[in-house]
Chains A and B, each alone.
Chain A
Amino acid sequence: MIDKQKLVKIVGTGMVSDREEDLEKYSSDISFVNRVRPAYVVKPGTAGEVQKLIDLANATKTPLVPVSSGAPHFKGDTVPGNGGSIIVDLSGMKKVEFVDRARRVAMVEPGVTFEELIPLCTKEGLRLNMPLLPRKSKSVTGSILEREPVLMPGYQWDMSDPLACAGLYFGNGEEFRTGQAAGPGTLKDQWKVGAVQKAPYGPGTASLHRLIQGAQGTMGIVTWMSIRCEVLPKMQEPFFSASHDLDQLLDLMSWLIRLRMVTECFILNNTNLAAIFATDMEDYQRIKETLPPYILFYNIAGYDYFPEDRIAAYIKDIAVMNQRIGLDTGKSAGLISADGLLKKIQKPCDEPYWKLCLKGASQDIFFLTIYDHMERQIAAMKEMSEEIGYSPTDLGLYIQPIVQGTGYHCEFNLFYDPYSYTESDRVKDLSNMATKSLMNMGAFFSRPYGDEANWIFNRDAATTDALRRIKKIFDPNHVMNPGKVCF
């Protein structure tokens, strides 16, 4: 095992821990991945320290597990795959280098959370294209590296958005900057002429930022990221459309995205909408009873020029579409107001985190799919729930259009009591069964975590082989988070 003093020499006293309680925190998470205890937790404060840690890991063949968000963790990607690993906790790297209104971009270190960055963006008249209700401790960089779906699909031009550029060290310890940030010269040289590291492509032919996303820290460690921001609207009008018929809502949603009428836009079922607002189980039941099965939420924004005109025009046009589809639009669904939901989703989740509020834990099954398959996949999930004894009405559902409507993120949230073996086992079984079955029904698990990753990669041997060849180039000693993804 690596000598602790070598780590101390790099990051300083107090930034390396092998205390039982600290190691325990990183040994497991809310997912079902096996418990593995790391050897140390180190907290680098600078990019230079990160590079030295990677060099040391290569010299000693020690696995590194990068972590940028605070607890609780949900997907098993930050639990070591191997014993003797070092957790590289980046949550202390909290510098916000800039928020640039004119160029609509911000640059941050990996420890910066949504809660910390949102007020700085708001002050400049900008906002982030956020995931749905991230927990307070969620790193912005972490979320983007995971390719989490974002609430405003119209502004997601590419799956990699809102990543602009990133600074990183590959697994072999070499520094790299993606996109426009690659050069010429240093970041400071670029700032002097007004460059703000906005364009994601390149340098050259490759777009290597795509390799570090979805990699779960297996390619290298990101030490800063520039993030595409959107303009803060002058006015907003959120609405609900609710129905028993999911197809009607999908139809409307696809047109709202296609015609670029809306900003935030997604569907929740009554379980999830109630869970988001409930303070306890009783409250949850009370809210849920008032809600229709499926609720489409959308927001119309008006910007600096004639915001009233823009909003009024789109309200009129959407009314025509609703009439065609046979839907009603309103400002509330049961006890929940559209304004209330808008307010909630434009910031991180209040404590306690909504997915933990009901029963203490949630297992999320999520995949990408297309319009044509979704209803069949949802029906199948309900059938499997029934079969395994998990009430289908307790299943949370979240449908998020992605990349300007070219696909959908479909997520089932299985709330359960982690202290009940029966419930945990049932949810674990359901999760395994559903992943296998849904794959056969066209569900694309683009972000595979935990044990399921093996089954998912087994379906595509050619891509898996290609990824392994690539991995060998950037992390030849296999020190970056071994045991994750397909490595």
Chain B
Amino acid sequence: MALSKEIYRELEDIVGEEFICSDPAIMPSYHGSDLGAVVLPENTVQVQAIVKTCNRYKLQFSAVATGWTGSFKKDIVYIDMRRMNRIIEINEKNMYAVIEPYVITAELQAECFKKGLHFNVKGAGSNCSAMLRGHGHLDQSTSGDDRNHLAIEWVTPEGEIVRSGALGSTDEWFCGDGPGPSIRAILTSAVPPGVTPGVFTKAAIKLYHWAGPPKYDIQGLSPKYTLPEVPKNMMARYYSFPSVEKMWQAEIRLGENEICMELMGFNVSMVAANIATCNEDDERIFKRLNKEKKGPGFFVIIAGNSDNDFAFKKKALEQIVREAEGESMKSLEDPETEGILIAQCTRVTASIRETFRAGGAFSSIPIMSQRDLTIKWAIGAGEAKLPLIKAGHIVDDGGAFFGWGVEQGHVGKTEIFCKFDPANEKAKAAVEKWSKEQGRRAFDESYFALMMGEVSDDIKANMCHYDKWWIALTRAFDPNDVAPQGGPLV
């Protein structure tokens, strides 16, 4: 059902006739949904006006930036944020950037590199919104989850503008906490369900020092790019170890000694996907690397701020790896491979290769928590993948999982996924079963609880009834129930 003429006109008055649509032929192109209308606001004032209109008519809305997945209720107003794509500020002295929701990582990173800065790039890749909460390849030195946000401008579900922290009091973006208790507690752009209702219209994110070049001199054509020279004072290596325990020990020591800019616990399947330019190549490289590896491993990039710094980090890295009986994979030391891995893994441009290319779809269990604990669980989850590989349901990755330390190993991220053909119903069913069983095992054995998608009542009860508080909070800010759960905010 399209919107009434009256409501349509009101929304049109806000954004202009070019930036609203309710054409039934166009609506399904947005997530295959039957939407009431799509509106494309240009700024916060327009977002606020749209939200207030929705409240007046008790119309539900959902705002989306670059999007990933999402399910949307019928007839909702879909706020497409693509016009809000400005980098407002890159503050070098205070190391933060202020961005709108549709600024993608690739754009912001390119601008930051020029100023010797960078930021946490989420694993979703360089085409996703830079504002997103999440984890990625650079977590070791750039943190992750909700810990990179500073002040946030938030249009509440009722259409009020809340500007968190210093922004509300002083118009400055450097701090999102206070005065008093921090409303960052509820301002989050996590994966749905569970996103903060309302719309984030601007956010400040932390920046970090970038010791690499202001621009990569990438050569070649898609899909075969190369970086002719490894940047000065940078080095990339893949180390494999005789056991998970040894790998973990090396990971912890590297964190405690603050050696790595990136410590990405790729399994060799993901390394192969990164290097390969097609599936045939991928399989061939995977088999070769599988023979070459000692056991589980990780990929590292070190970056020196000076020759002295680089020399120290390289020396410590090699000693730590040696003590843990790790070995560098020689074939990956080839400068051409090393160079492109540095570029791809700092700009995070190979996510699609790692996830979608081989099978067309993937199903993932990501856990942000205590690294050693989640590794313990992931070993079992990896073993449980083997029958699926044997049956040909999923792409052969050796039953691997992956992950990395966050904040120099203080916490961590572990993830495991199955790559499969979404058109293959048997494969899809097998992956769903695996995912459900492994999620349940994590909960039953007290490792962690998965809280994405449908969560059972016993899990909620065993997790301090977190859902009850979240529902109370969302109701407090959305009395007209116009901002339903389920759509991705960013």
A-side interface residues toward B, CB under 8 Å?
Answer: 102-104, 147, 157-160, 174-177, 180, 182-185, 189-190, 192-196, 198-216, 218-219, 228, 231, 254, 258-260, 303-306, 309-310, 312-314, 316-317, 320, 368, 370-372, 402-407, 439, 442-448, 453, 456-457, 459-460, 462-463, 465-467, 469-470, 472-474, 485-486
Partner of A406, one of B94, B190, B196, B305: B94
A312 and B308 in contact, given A183-B449, A204-B466, A260-B209 (Cβ under 8 angstroms) = yes
In the complex, the 9 A-B pairs of residues with the closest C-beta atoms, listed nearest first: A446-B178, A205-B194, A313-B308, A460-B168, A210-B185, A210-B182, A444-B166, A183-B463, A203-B466
Kindly state the separation between the CA atoms of A201 and B361 in the bound complex, as whole angstroms. Answer: 28
Instruction: Write out the residue numbers on chain B whose beta carbons fall within 8 Å of the beta carbon of A218.
Output: 181
Q: 14 other contacts beyond A205-B188, A309-B315, with CB at 8 A cut-off?
A: A190-B446, A192-B446, A211-B182, A214-B182, A218-B181, A304-B257, A312-B308, A313-B308, A314-B309, A372-B93, A404-B95, A443-B170, A462-B168, A485-B179
Partner of A214, one of B95, B178, B411: B178
Contact indicator A258/B183 (Cβ below 8 Å): no
Contact indicator A212/B181 (Cβ below 8 Å): yes
Instruction: Write out the residue numbers on chain B whose beta carbons fall within 8 Å of the beta carbon of A403.
Output: 150, 175, 206
Closest Cβ neighbor of A312 among chain B residues: B308
List which B318-357 residues lie within 8 A (CB) of chain A.
319-320
Partner of A467, one of B171, B181, B196: B181
A469 and B459 in contact, given A205-B194, A485-B180 (Cβ under 8 angstroms) = no
A456 to chain B, nearest CB (A): 5
**5 intermolecular pairs with C-beta atoms under 8 Å apart:** A215-B180, A368-B174, A439-B169, A445-B179, A453-B180
Closest Cβ neighbor of B409 among chain A residues: A104
Kindly state the separation between the CA atoms of A312 and B171 in the bound complex, as whole angstroms. Answer: 42
B274 to chain A, nearest CB (A): 27
Q: Is B177 interfacial (CB-CB < 8 Å)? A: yes
Q: Is B42 interfacial (CB-CB < 8 Å)? A: no
Closest Cβ neighbor of B248 among chain A residues: A102
List which B431-470 residues lie within 8 A (CB) of chain A.
443-449, 451, 459, 462-467, 469-470
B174 to chain A, nearest CB (A): 4
Instruction: Write out the residue numbers on chain B whose beta carbons fall within 8 Å of the beta carbon of A446.
Output: 165-166, 175, 177-179
Q: Is B423 interfacial (CB-CB < 8 Å)? A: no
A90 to chain B, nearest CB (A): 19
Closest Cβ neighbor of A310 among chain B residues: B312
Kindly state the separation between the CA atoms of A215 and B178 in the bound complex, as whole angstroms. Answer: 9
Closest Cβ neighbor of A313 among chain B residues: B308
Contact indicator A205/B464 (Cβ below 8 Å): no
Interface size class of B (residues with CB under 8 A): 35 or more
Instruction: Write out the residue numbers on chain B whose beta carbons fall within 8 Å of the beta carbon of A472.
Output: 476
Partner of A259, one of B182, B209, B320: B209
Q: Is B83 interfacial (CB-CB < 8 Å)? A: no
Kindly state the separation between the CA atoms of A265 and B369 in the bound complex, as whole angstroms. Answer: 29
Residue among B190, B319, B463, B466 with max Cβ neighbours from chain A (10 Å): B466
Binds A, one of B53-61, B74-82, B156-164, B285-293: B156-164
Contact indicator A193/B320 (Cβ below 8 Å): no
Contact indicator B476/A470 (Cβ below 8 Å): yes
Contact indicator B180/A214 (Cβ below 8 Å): yes
Q: Is B126 interfacial (CB-CB < 8 Å)? A: no
Contact indicator A463/B166 (Cβ below 8 Å): no
Q: Is B1 interfacial (CB-CB < 8 Å)? A: no
B310 to chain A, nearest CB (A): 9
Instruction: Write out the residue numbers on chain B whose beta carbons fall within 8 Å of the beta carbon of A317.
Output: 305-306, 308-309
Contact indicator B181/A159 (Cβ below 8 Å): no
Kindly state the separation between the CA atoms of A313 and B183 in the bound complex, as whole angstroms. Answer: 41
Residue among A306, A462, A466 with max Cβ neighbours from chain B (10 Å): A466
Kindly state the separation between the CA atoms of A234 and B179 in the bound complex, as whole angstroms. Answer: 39
Contact indicator A103/B370 (Cβ below 8 Å): yes
Closest Cβ neighbor of A193 among chain B residues: B446
Kindly state the separation between the CA atoms of A333 and B309 in the bound complex, as whole angstroms. Answer: 28
Partner of B451, one of A202, A320, A474: A202
Instruction: Write out the residue numbers on chain A whose beta carbons fall within 8 Å of the beta carbon of B470.
Output: 204-206
Contact indicator B196/A199 (Cβ below 8 Å): no
Contact indicator A213/B181 (Cβ below 8 Å): yes
A231 and B184 in contact, given A254-B93, A442-B172, A446-B177 (Cβ under 8 angstroms) = no
Contact indicator B163/A463 (Cβ below 8 Å): yes
Instruction: Write out the residue numbers on chain B whose beta carbons fall within 8 Å of the beta carbon of A453.
Output: 179-180
Partner of B370, one of A180, A372, A474: A180
Q: Is B221 interfacial (CB-CB < 8 Å)? A: no
Closest Cβ neighbor of B249 among chain A residues: A102
Partner of A469, one of B146, B196, B477: B477
Contact indicator A370/B181 (Cβ below 8 Å): no
List which B128-182 residues lie within 8 A (CB) of chain A.
143, 145-147, 150, 156, 160-166, 168-172, 174-182
Kindly state the separation between the CA atoms of A305 and B470 in the bound complex, as whole angstroms. Answer: 45
Kindly state the separation between the CA atoms of A456 and B445 in the bound complex, as whole angstroms. Answer: 48
Closest Cβ neighbor of A462 among chain B residues: B162
A406 and B368 in contact, given A102-B252, A445-B179, A463-B164 (Cβ under 8 angstroms) = no
A305 and B95 in contact, given A185-B462, A214-B177 (Cβ under 8 angstroms) = no
Contact indicator A205/B177 (Cβ below 8 Å): no
Q: Is B391 interfacial (CB-CB < 8 Å)? A: no
Contact indicator B469/A206 (Cβ below 8 Å): yes
Contact indicator A203/B464 (Cβ below 8 Å): yes
Instruction: Write out the residue numbers on chain B whose beta carbons fall within 8 Å of the beta carbon of A210.
Output: 177, 181-185
Partner of B183, one of A104, A306, A467: A467
Kindly state the separation between the CA atoms of A185 and B445 in the bound complex, as whole angstroms. Answer: 9
A190 to chain B, nearest CB (A): 6
Contact indicator B370/A216 (Cβ below 8 Å): no
B205 to chain A, nearest CB (A): 10
Contact indicator B93/A371 (Cβ below 8 Å): yes
Q: Is B473 interfacial (CB-CB < 8 Å)? A: yes
Contact indicator B182/A159 (Cβ below 8 Å): yes
A466 to chain B, nearest CB (A): 5
Partner of B312, one of A180, A209, A306, A456: A306
Q: Is B239 interfacial (CB-CB < 8 Å)? A: no
Q: Is B294 interfacial (CB-CB < 8 Å)? A: no
Closest Cβ neighbor of B475 among chain A residues: A473
Instruction: Write out the residue numbers on chain B whose beta carbons fall within 8 Å of the beta carbon of A200.
Output: 147, 411
Q: Is B429 interfacial (CB-CB < 8 Å)? A: no
Kindly state the separation between the CA atoms of A254 and B312 in the bound complex, as whole angstroms. Answer: 22
Closest Cβ neighbor of B311 among chain A residues: A313
Kindly state the separation between the CA atoms of A104 and B312 in the bound complex, as whole angstroms. Answer: 24
Instruction: Write out the residue numbers on chain B whose beta carbons fall within 8 Å of the beta carbon of A159.
Output: 175-177, 182
Q: Is B25 interfacial (CB-CB < 8 Å)? A: no
Q: Is B247 interfacial (CB-CB < 8 Å)? A: no
Closest Cβ neighbor of A371 among chain B residues: B93
Instruction: Write out the residue numbers on chain B whose beta carbons fall within 8 Å of the beta carbon of A203.
Output: 449, 451, 463-464, 466
Contact indicator A147/B177 (Cβ below 8 Å): yes
Instruction: Write out the residue numbers on chain B whose beta carbons fall within 8 Å of the beta carbon of A193.
Output: 373, 376, 445-447
Instruction: Write out the residue numbers on chain A whose beta carbons fall within 8 Å of the beta carbon of B182.
Output: 159-160, 210-211, 213-214
Partner of A231, one of B170, B177, B256: B256
Q: Is B316 interfacial (CB-CB < 8 Å)? A: yes
Instruction: Write out the residue numbers on chain A whose beta carbons fall within 8 Å of the beta carbon of B94.
Output: 370-372, 405-407
Instruction: Write out the residue numbers on chain A whose beta carbons fall within 8 Å of the beta carbon of B150.
Output: 403, 406
A463 and B175 in contact, given A193-B445, A259-B305 (Cβ under 8 angstroms) = no
Closest Cβ neighbor of B310 among chain A residues: A313
Kindly state the separation between the CA atoms of A307 and B472 in the bound complex, as whole angstroms. Answer: 51
Instruction: Write out the residue numbers on chain B whose beta carbons fall within 8 Å of the beta carbon of A176.
Output: 464, 469
Contact indicator A444/B446 (Cβ below 8 Å): no
Kindly state the separation between the CA atoms of A446 and B178 in the bound complex, as whole angstroms. Answer: 5
Contact indicator A207/B185 (Cβ below 8 Å): yes
Contact indicator B376/A194 (Cβ below 8 Å): yes
Contact indicator B373/A466 (Cβ below 8 Å): no
Contact indicator A158/B147 (Cβ below 8 Å): yes
Residue among A175, A214, A310, A444 with max Cβ neighbours from chain B (10 Å): A444
A376 to chain B, nearest CB (A): 13
Contact indicator B372/A184 (Cβ below 8 Å): no
Kindly state the separation between the CA atoms of A444 and B177 in the bound complex, as whole angstroms. Answer: 10
Instruction: Write out the residue numbers on chain B whose beta carbons fall within 8 Å of the beta carbon of A260.
Output: 209, 258
